[in-house]
Amino acid sequence: AQTVTQSQPEMSVQEAETVTLSCTYDTSESDYYLFWYKQPPSRQMILVIRQEAYKQQNATENRFSVNFQKAAKSFSLKISDSQLGDAAMYFCAYRLPNSGNTPLVFGKGTRLSVIA
């Protein structure tokens, strides 16, 4: 079974600084998707960034980028120029690419605090 591990229960970063959240996963598949979701206090699940395993290039979305190391099964999230609004729970997630019926497998999450 696939598992996702986030080894940092809590992280903090100064406003405008950079922080990296770690995620590792275990799978025997070669094709899959990886995601980072943000969950603010409102508890909405907000997609931050996604990565297809077959793509070697790391995904980026504005201030958010990933370091995808397929051989090491590592998928870290880097947040640059951190803002107060970035404070939230961050979940790393994995999914197989089958059409429609494969659920996301989530890590336990990392709570990010941003210090003004």
**What single string gives the DSSP state of each residue in 83-114?**
-GGG-EEEEEEEE---TTT---EE---EEEEE
The yes or no reply on residue 41 touching another protein (CB under 8 A) is: no
**Cβ 74 vs Cβ 63: under 8 Å:** no
**Segment interacting with another protein, rule: CB under 8 A, options 17-25, 42-50, 65-73, 80-88:** 42-50
Question: In angstroms, how far is the first alpha carbon of the chain from the final one?
Answer: 41
41 vs 85, which CB is nearer to another protein?
41
The yes or no reply on residue 61 touching another protein (CB under 8 A) is: no
The yes or no reply on residue 99 touching another protein (CB under 8 A) is: yes
Among 33, 58, 65, 78, binds another protein (CB under 8 A): 33
